[in-house]
Structure 1
């Protein structure tokens, strides 16, 4: 009895359906990632996509980075920085995640500030920053121009 979930023998390529099943990434997303240059396949004489097994680890890298909020353009740039288009190693992930850590820390800070300011502004019920004597007396922030002023950029 064969196990259809077992990984193929070394060197064997995977169809797009097999990659989708094993990675949990929908076929439509695989096509999108390929169009965006994040993954690569080759075409068979019958014009079917075939992926190397390493694409599974590459997809994990992409999905984890996306989950923490790294934009696809930055993910692509990081993958393009790897020699010979190789699949990211643990060392690659450690280096890249350290680079992204500062950006993520900044994003967390902005979200916390947004959460705290949002609660404060909406809590009074006025929904008008220019009439808020607590947060913005005399509309001081309006003098700086339009848009939200308390959020750091």
Structure 2
């Protein structure tokens, strides 16, 4: 691409709705890779509009910048991502979203039982965790992490 080609950071900001500072941050994190023209100004490819839009959407779904970067690193930098590229990413993200939805549904379905008794203590809860048996499985909220009371020996 010739140095006169490409979009300025202001044009990218206008097209994506992102602040210039956010675009610079994403550059620092390696999510976009503009080049510098002869006067040292950043220049972006049109494909960076899609990349930045993807970053914004993926963050709204709760994905971390590290997860987003891992996916973007698999995309070609020399051309706009095509339908097949996005299909692969959507499959990966769909799996992650489905797992997150399952965890949230479990939390939703069990949270009322925990809050309903008023004790708010898994150590003291005679219904969900008698004699703190869940501690045998490790640290943290074991049942919300996927363990079942039947998995714990007591």
Normalization by structure 1: what TM-score?
Answer: 0.79
Could you tell me which of 62, 70, 88 is aligned with 1:95?
A: 88
Counterpart Cα distance in 1 of 2:25 and 2:11: 16
Q: Aligned pair 1:133/2:126, yes or no?
A: yes
Structure 2 runs not aligned, ≥5 long: 147-154
State the Cα deviation string for residues 73-102 of structure 1 (Å, max 9, x = none). 232222222345433222211121112222
The runs of at least 4 aligned residues of structure 1 exceeding 6 Å deviation read none
Q: Secondary structure at the match of 1:81?
A: coil
Is 40-49 or 136-145 further displaced after alignment?
136-145
Partner of 2:107: 114
Work out the number of aligned pairs and report it: 143
Q: Secondary structure at the match of 1:130?
A: coil
Pair 1:74–1:142, CA change in 2 (3 A): closer
Q: Aligned pair 1:77/2:63, yes or no?
A: no
Pair 1:63–1:87, CA change in 2 (3 A): farther
Normalization by structure 2: what TM-score?
Answer: 0.78
Partner of 2:54: 61
Is 135-144 or 94-103 further displaced after alignment?
135-144
Pair 1:29–1:147, CA change in 2 (3 A): same
Partner of 1:43: 36
Q: Secondary structure at the match of 2:43?
A: strand
Partner of 2:149: none
Pair 1:85–1:63, CA change in 2 (3 A): farther
Superposed, which structure 2 residues align to 1:13-32 within 5 Å?
13-32=6-25
Counterpart Cα distance in 2 of 1:137 and 1:152: 18
**What's the Cα RMSD here?**
2.2
Counterpart Cα distance in 1 of 2:18 and 2:35: 19
Q: Aligned pair 1:34/2:50, yes or no?
A: no
